[in-house]
Structures are given as structure tokens and as C-alpha cells.
Structure 1
Amino acid sequence: MSAGFEVNERIAADSVFVAEWPLCQLRLMDDRRFPWLLLLPRKPGLEEWTELAEDELAVLAVEIKQACAALGAVAKFDKLNVGALGNIVRQMHVHIIGRSVGDAAWPGPVWGQGTREPYSPEAREALVERLRALPSDAD
């Protein structure tokens, strides 16, 4: 499934690799303002979730739920946002974002709000290691 799969250069520049799950690559968005994960189905040329086969959609749903649980295990937030937009980056990807009342973009969307604030290298690596250490149904 992943032969020929490549991460879009913008996603690669703005996020860091966490894990390979059965369908998706899990990535941490490198923006300390928001707890934020990305899921990228490892299928070359995929732009829309509707292009996935029904069995792949079932796996995607499970992996979204797993990513939501992982985010909740490493961060505190008031509301969980899940979305697949793709207006700027066409490659199919799902955002899992923890939102809190009063965060940098509240109550609007996170896209286009302010400037991304990368984690320090130490904080980013510690968060990635915490995510990797979590038990996973996707393993």
C-alpha cells in the first residue's frame, strides 16, 4: 500500500513523524499553540477520503479514534476537532486538534491564525516519545 507514498513537502516541513499505523502515517504538527496530530493514509496520489475502499475507510475511522485517544493522553483541551480539508495541501490528510477556550484561535479555525510556533527540539522529541510509548490498537 505504501509503495510510492510520499509526504507532501509542506506537511513534512510543518510536522514530524511519529509512527506508521496499518493505513496511515501519524505525524505531530510542530505548533506548540495547539495539541495537533495528522493522519496521512499511505496511498500514493490520494486526495479525497472518498477514494478509499470501504475496508480502508473502516481502518481510517479506527485510526482517527486511536489518534484522538493518543492526543488526549498527552494534552489537555476542552474540545476535539477532526477534519479533512485539503484546500491548500491536496494530499489526503486528517487533522486531529485539541482546542481550548481562549487558545490562540478560539473559537475560530486554527488555519491562518497567527504564526506557527514550533516546539523546542527537546519538547518536540519528548512529546513524540510520549506518543510512541502509548499502547496502540493500530500496532
Structure 2
Amino acid sequence: MDELELEFELHPQLVEDCVLLGNFPLCTLLLLNDSNYPWFVLVPRRVEVSEIYHLPEHEQRQLMHESTFLAENLADLYAAHKMNIAALGNMVPQLHLHHIVRFRDDPAWPAPVWGKVPAKPYTVEELYELRHKLEFLMDAEIQFEPHDP
């Protein structure tokens, strides 16, 4: 772990809104606690980075690798109609990339998901099942956080 990673902390809003799943080599993988949409967030473990171009070039490439790997696996897992990937940062300045699995029959289709319907937190059972599927698909790339059975 390098010095920047040692100083890294998730933004409090991400901590409040998300469930920690694990870590890619560069990014922490989060699940937004809203079961209306399969909604994942990648956060590079770097201090005071708000834009992709703030990362050194090799970390930009690593971020793209992790993002495309995640998107491809989520699209396959959920049989997505569309993958929405965005780095907005208007409310949370810490660099983070949303990966939202979209379906033609989801509550917000075809509009953006933000604020369309109230968040519906995952149940313990839903989280367990989701973790199990992700671990099966992506265990070679992600160091998953331990969780209770």
C-alpha cells in the first residue's frame, strides 16, 4: 500500500449510502443501498482526487480496466438493457464512478435514476445473495470484504 492509499478515506456520503463490497487493485467497490436498481460505485483509493484526469496515466488505465470489467460482468449477470456509467461529483467531490444496470422496465427508464423513486434498501438476504453471485463471477479481480453468513 502506498502513502496516498494509507491516507484514503471514503467520503461520508458514500459511507452512509453504500455497502462496502471489496477492493480492486485501485478502486473500492461499493453497492448503493437501493434495490430499485443494481447500482455500484467504484472509488479510486486516492486522496484529494475529484477528476479522472487528476490520476496519473497508469492509474487512469487501471480505472478504465476495473470499470469495464465491472460493467461487463454486471451486464452479463443482470442481462442489462443498458449500463449507465457516470462520474458526476456534484454532490460528492471525491472521484467515484457510478455503474447502474438499467432495464426498459425499471422505475426511471429511460430517464436518469436520481430522485425518481424513494430508495428501497436491500434486505440481509438480498445482500447475501448478491455478494455470493459477485464473488463467484469476479473473485479473481476483487478482494471481497468478509461478511457474515
Same fold (TM over 0.5): yes
Q: Is 2:77 aligned against 1:60?
A: no
Separation in 2, partners of 1:45, 1:133:
33
Cα 1:54–1:136 shift into 2, 3 Å: farther
Separation in 2, partners of 1:78, 1:93:
23
Q: Deviations over 1:45-78 (max 9, x none)?
A: 1111110010000000000011112312432321
Separation in 1, partners of 2:123, 2:139:
26
Separation in 2, partners of 1:68, 1:35:
11
Q: Deviations over 1:71-105 (max 9, x none)?
A: 12432321111110011111100011111113111
Separation in 2, partners of 1:71, 1:64:
10
AA aligned to 2:79 is K
Separation in 2, partners of 1:7, 1:82:
19
Separation in 2, partners of 1:114, 1:16:
20
Identity of aligned pairs, percent? 35
Q: Which residue of 2 is the match for residue 121 of structure 1?
A: 124
Q: How does 1:53-132 map to 2 (within 5 A)?
A: 53-132=56-135
Cα pair 1:36 1:71 within 8 Å, conserved: no
Aligned residues: 139
What's the Cα RMSD here? Answer: 1.5
Structure 1: runs of 5 or more not aligned:
none
Separation in 2, partners of 1:56, 1:5:
15
Separation in 2, partners of 1:55, 1:128:
29
